[in-house]
Structure 1
């Protein structure tokens, strides 16, 4: 015979409430862990957690200090270049390398101070965000790599006078992203570094202060070319902008200018400093043209001669001169 035990309803309810009360802390901890897990798996939250907000202020002061240092360095380089003119290019090269070092150190410092490098961040950066950032910074990355190649390959240097496309002037800075060129009309042109990899660049002095200058003069074919050549050589040798350790040459050739045959005398000489290029050319031209006038050396002109045509026969069977 079975024994049946009857439990009143209120006893069963009380037992359930007791069990819930005993397990309440464990249920709360499980819910909290689930919430933390969901938060950690949220990319937006992870992105916010990657920033060190206290390091942002330090990064600002690092950038400000770098700017002050670079400004001070530029002023020092400018003063040293004016005092030591023969070492001006060397000082500018050292300044370019110093700028590179400051840029790289500043970037690394800001990244380390402002971001928390963790596995989650590396995963995020290696995903779609990194791809999007790579496309956005494609041209910038190309310019950065090109700038490094320019610094090591050295097709030109800071202080060189170059001809790139339709731009002609002095290289005043080689940066991480671009090259700054100061033209002869005192304009500053900024050219991205990656453009120099696919185009031809002509450098006039390549690391030295002096540079070869060509000045052309034209005279008639019936003029005293020997005297004209002597005048050009003498004027070039006595100008105050000439660099005498290198040779002075005057090359004579026959050319056609506006259907007129002329003699071209091309002076090839070296100016003392690239910054005197136009002063050198102006001084040479003024003195040569003055001496040409004093010695009666005339510019090119169409000549009218008396020529005798051997096959033009008149009634008396004699040759007659014909004016042409």
Structure 2
């Protein structure tokens, strides 16, 4: 019994000593870290941050004033403002760090480890986009100048880089897409390296209208367009379109435009021609069928 009590006392003393050693180690780490801080520098850091904030506010007001007076230089001024803001942020951060800490091997090791982890995370996505860019260039799902559809965006590919692809939409917006997106999403190319491209234009007429005449009018309007690429055929497909409250004949014109840049002009030209001929030959659009229930 005495031996058992002695063992318990020994374990309690050992655990207490271990906890005391661990607490002492934590206190030593805190004391060592606080010894690296220059408290006077921390106080002056507030003034550095305040001065940087005032400087950035002043330059923002200055750029806004000059941009309103000299509109032709607005883009240049905004670019210079962005570079200046980045320079102020980096300089202020470096000054605050230099005056707030005593630089030694421990601080340099901590900074090096933090930078290595940060750069590793940043380079992960960059490396994935780089490899995907090489895949896009080798596999060639599309080329520069192609008119493609990707994730609901429709436009022309203007550059294929190692990190991203830039697309100009039909509304003249520039979209930047990371290359790794193309490895998992479906991309549709309308012309795939060729100048000409097929355009699909639907027309609707009533069930009781002259279908053959309407088909011939669409075929003639497409064939005589100034934007038509005649080496390829003009096809007009006919089928019924049935909805909840109407039935119609759908005539789909499939024709090739001579250049992708004229796609919308080609569609407009054919539509105007067909509508004019439909009106001249009294070909009517589909009528909505209204059903009433007799009580």
TM over 0.5: yes
CA distance in 2, matches of 1:202, 1:258: 31
User: Secondary structure of 1:137's partner?
Assistant: helix
Corresponding residue of 1:301: 287
Corresponding residue of 2:158: 172
How many aligned residue pairs are there? Answer: 181
Contact in 1 for aligned 2:245/2:289 (Cα 8 Å): no
Give the 5 Å matches for 1:72-87. Answer: none
Summarize deviations over 1:60-114 as a string: whole Å, max 9, x none: xxxxxxxxxxxxxxxxxxxxxxxxxxxxxxxxxxxxxxxxxxxxxxxxxxxxxxx
Moved runs in structure 1, 4+ residues, more than 4 A? 127-132
Corresponding residue of 2:210: 224
CA distance in 1, matches of 2:145, 2:244: 39
User: Secondary structure of 2:155's partner?
Assistant: strand
User: Secondary structure of 1:266's partner?
Assistant: strand
Corresponding residue of 1:276: 262
Summarize deviations over 1:160-218 as a string: whole Å, max 9, x none: 00000110000000011110000001111111111111100000000100000000000
The change in CA–CA distance for 1:257 and 1:280 in structure 2 (over 3 A counts) is: farther
Post-superposition shift, 1:304?
Answer: 8.6
The change in CA–CA distance for 1:292 and 1:142 in structure 2 (over 3 A counts) is: same
Post-superposition shift, 1:134?
Answer: 2.5
1:243 aligns with 2:229: yes
Corresponding residue of 2:197: 211
Contact in 1 for aligned 2:245/2:290 (Cα 8 Å): no
User: Secondary structure of 2:172's partner?
Assistant: coil
Counterpart of 1:196 (choices 139, 160, 182) is 182
- CA-atom RMSD in angstroms: 2.1
Counterpart of 2:251 (choices 254, 265, 288) is 265
CA distance in 1, matches of 2:276, 2:144: 38
- Superposition TM-score, scaled by structure 2 size: 0.58
CA distance in 1, matches of 2:244, 2:277: 25
Corresponding residue of 1:286: 272
The change in CA–CA distance for 1:257 and 1:289 in structure 2 (over 3 A counts) is: farther
Corresponding residue of 1:181: 167
Instruction: Structure 1: give runs of 5+ residues left out of the alignment.
Output: 1-123, 306-322
- Superposition TM-score, scaled by structure 1 size: 0.53
CA distance in 1, matches of 2:170, 2:215: 29
CA distance in 1, matches of 2:181, 2:155: 17
Corresponding residue of 1:88: none
CA distance in 1, matches of 2:172, 2:132: 26
Corresponding residue of 1:255: 241
CA distance in 1, matches of 2:272, 2:200: 15
CA distance in 2, matches of 1:258, 1:137: 54
CA distance in 2, matches of 1:164, 1:256: 30
The change in CA–CA distance for 1:304 and 1:181 in structure 2 (over 3 A counts) is: closer
Give the 5 Å matches for 1:3-152. Answer: 132-152=118-138
Answer with 1 or 2: which has the greater Rg. 1
CA distance in 2, matches of 1:303, 1:296: 20
Summarize deviations over 1:233-258 as a string: whole Å, max 9, x none: 00000000000001110000001245
CA distance in 2, matches of 1:242, 1:301: 32
Post-superposition shift, 1:133?
Answer: 2.8
